[in-house]
Structure 1
Amino acid sequence: MSSDIEHWHINAIVHKDCVEETHYVSDPARNIRRRPETTIWQVERLLGRGGFGEVRLERNRQDGRARAVKRIAMMGTNLTNMECEKELKALLEFSKPKSREAAVFIDFFGWFKDKSDIFLAMEYVPLGDLEKNITAHSGKISEGEAQSIIEQILSGLEIMHGQMFAHRDLKPQNVLVVHGPPMWWVKLADFGLSKKLTDTTAYHTKAGTQSYMAPEMLYSPDGSSDYTDAIDIWAVGCIAYRLVSGSVPFTIPALVQYCQDKSLFPVDPLFDCGIKSTGSKFLRYLLVTEPKDRPSASQALQHEWILSSKFFNPF
């Protein structure tokens, strides 16, 4: 692994019900140099389970702090060290001071491993994901609140895309809620499918969730077609539509028809929820079938619908 990744390695022993960490403490005032101190993190409960592992809640026995720990199974799966490093690199990139100041990414604390698994220690968000929270609010929220959430997601993507990363699996389940209504505060999470575009590579591995997947990804049967970070912009359009209307804009058959006939954009649910004309224009601005015609995250942030939000923070 790279030196940057090793810098975030935590010296830990993994037990069945807890994690024993050793840190070295130095304090010139007390003439203490590299004194080992042990911290015990108690495993409390399972928070979720995914394709290559699970996320669990751990609590510090000494001071009661909580953290979320993602366990990635390396044995008995097709997951490679390179794929695991991909997620680590994304977490490290967005843990840098400038990214942390933006307050739109889940905080990363470090990683450790045992013989069969790698563990990623991250910020615990008790309120859970955006999907869970929206479902608890009758499946949709006010337009003003949606504007605030979408502005925050776009701000995160502006940073990601500026560093040549695409999230590739953006959906409400991968947006965590730090604070609920009316002053929503959300953070982007789960970079397991994120990928960095270099001068010699292109995004072409198929990834993502169908309801939020851009047409260029969905209709590449073997996942071999190249695509850009515009896939994330399509996903933002789907999330915005979901927030204000209570449903995703397209089923798979409806998306096929829309790609063939642009007059079939689903406007009726938007009329029913009473969204402003600028909001409807914003959704059409993002949900363009040709990726080259979609705006960048920076351009989307300058749209009238975002700038007109009473919750908009220009800083």
Structure 2
Amino acid sequence: MSFHPNNMANTTNTGASTQAPPPKFTVALAERLVQEAKLNVSVLPMPTPECPNAIQVTEWYRTELSTEFKILNIWNRAELLGKGGHGTVFLEHGISGVRTGETRAVKVLAYDHPGITAQQLASLRHKELLVSIFLSQPWCERHFVKTHSWFTIDEAPNLGMQHLLGDLGAVQLTPRGPIAPDHARVVMKQLLQALEFLHSQQLVHRDLKPQNIMVHSMPPFQDSWIIKLGDFGSLEYYSDISDKSQIRPGGTPGFVPPDVLGYCPNDEMNTFLQACKADMFAAGAVLFIMLTRLAPFGKAGMHLDRYAHGEMPIGFPFTYLNSSICGPDCKALVQFLLAVRPAGRPMASTMLATSNWLHGA
């Protein structure tokens, strides 16, 4: 590898655009964008034997010069796409209006957290709504799942999102196996570009895993890989990057680094930087899984504690990355990302600028 893991200052992506920089994330800006994206809707139950909870969603608006209601689109919601800790996603079909014949994914924000209060639920929903709309703007939408609009049903925010092929685990890793190194390089570069943008905005994803990486296109069905990062239910905004309070644990077991779990020191980093380094560890776990279809530390990270304390066999888990799977530059990148201590993990901007493997060398 041609980079030093601590060389983070003044490092930029050499492929970056010369256009004016995007606006910085602020709560005030995100609030304004959220209001602009809000839709009025009415809901009609449309139960079927296959989906007794099916509904029809009608988007409408009222003109300034009239009290009449104008119908914009009508959607049928009759298929469940998935359910997780941060909400439920449905597939909707446009049956009338300007988006007739189109499909969209709609995420109903609901948090399956035991003991959560109504106030906490409202706060979590609002945070995810703000970030989802901000990351759907033209300056960054190529990196993230786009939320076109939103509305409320029974007080729950519903995010109207682009409908993609599925998540990386469901459409590739489970049915098709590991990803060839040349293809994994394309996916990894796009993932790091998304993280580079997030971190530049003082935003940290905190739950990076294959299930939260959505596939827009992939060979052999399309010419190339295009992925988008999604699910911002665990994301944090660090308004004070100098804060050194204890990091709040978050993420999925197997993708959370040892320092966040208290298995090793945090190298006296501020909370924001340590959180960024946690994203990088998760990115390393994703790359390892793409190349091998194996979890680097066993199911739910069961071997992570022993790995952090040097109690696993020498070379674990990198012995799985033999020469038939990836070359030395690729293996070294995974090793840096999965470093036990956060100081050993490069930032996304550093890797994008200096990694031989990412540049195809």
Q: Kindly indicate whether residue 288 of structure 2 is the aligned counterpart of residue 246 of structure 1.
A: no
Q: Which amino acid aligns with 1:217?
A: V
Instruction: Note the C-alpha offset of 1:132.
Output: 1.1
Of 10, 16, 35, the match for 2:39:
10
RMSD, matched Cα: 2.8
Instruction: Note the C-alpha offset of 1:273.
Output: 4.1
Q: In the superposition, relative to structure 1, how do residues 135 and 19 fare at CA in structure 2: closer, same or farther (>3 Å)?
A: same
Question: What's 1:106 paired with?
Answer: 145
Correspondence 1:147-158 to 2 at 5 A: 147-158=185-196
Correspondence 1:206-245 to 2 at 5 A: 206-219=249-262, 226=271, 227-245=274-292
Q: Kindly indicate whether residue 97 of structure 2 is the aligned counterpart of residue 53 of structure 1.
A: no
Of 318, 324, 338, the match for 1:267:
318
Of 215, 228, 231, the match for 1:190:
231
Q: Secondary structure at the match of 1:212?
A: coil
Q: Which amino acid aligns with 1:64?
A: G
Q: Which amino acid aligns with 1:160?
A: L
2:86 touches 2:233 (CA, 8 Å); kept in 1? Answer: no
Q: Secondary structure at the match of 2:251?
A: coil
Question: What's 1:65 paired with?
Answer: 102
Once the two structures are superposed, residues 98-149 of structure 1 have per-residue CA deviations (whole angstroms, 9 ceiling, x without a partner) of: 112xx12111112111334221111111x21100122355420111011110
Question: What's 1:313 paired with?
Answer: none
1:74 touches 1:117 (CA, 8 Å); kept in 2? Answer: no
| Runs of 4+ with >4 A deviation | 74-77, 200-203
Q: Select between 252-261 and 105-114 the one with higher mean Cα deviation.
A: 252-261
Q: Kindly indicate whether residue 329 of structure 2 is the aligned counterpart of residue 286 of structure 1.
A: no
Q: Select between 150-159 and 108-117 the one with higher mean Cα deviation.
A: 108-117
- Per the normalisation by structure 1, the TM-score is 0.85
Q: In the superposition, relative to structure 1, how do residues 52 and 274 fare at CA in structure 2: closer, same or farther (>3 Å)?
A: closer
Instruction: Note the C-alpha offset of 1:292.
Output: 2.5
In 2, Cα distance between equivalents of 1:43 and 1:199: 41
Question: What's 2:206 paired with?
Answer: 168
In 2, Cα distance between equivalents of 1:191 and 1:155: 16
Using the aligned pairs only, state the percent identity: 29
Question: What's 1:179 paired with?
Answer: 217
Instruction: Note the C-alpha offset of 1:185.
Output: 1.0
Q: Secondary structure at the match of 1:152?
A: helix
Once the two structures are superposed, residues 70-93 of structure 1 have per-residue CA deviations (whole angstroms, 9 ceiling, x without a partner) of: 112489954522111111121122
Q: Kindly indicate whether residue 93 of structure 2 is the aligned counterpart of residue 87 of structure 1.
A: no
Question: What's 2:6 paired with?
Answer: none
Structure 2 gap segments, 5+ residues each: 1-27, 46-54, 264-269
Count of aligned residue pairs for this structure pair: 298
Q: Which amino acid aligns with 2:326?
A: I
Q: Select between 137-146 and 281-290 the one with higher mean Cα deviation.
A: 137-146
Q: Secondary structure at the match of 1:274?
A: coil
In 2, Cα distance between equivalents of 1:51 and 1:13: 27
Instruction: Note the C-alpha offset of 1:250.
Output: 1.1
Question: What's 1:36 paired with?
Answer: 70
Structure 1 gap segments, 5+ residues each: 310-315
- Per the normalisation by structure 2, the TM-score is 0.75
2:173 touches 2:179 (CA, 8 Å); kept in 1? Answer: no
In 2, Cα distance between equivalents of 1:151 and 1:203: 30
Q: Which amino acid aligns with 2:135?
A: F
Q: Kindly indicate whether residue 160 of structure 2 is the aligned counterpart of residue 121 of structure 1.
A: yes
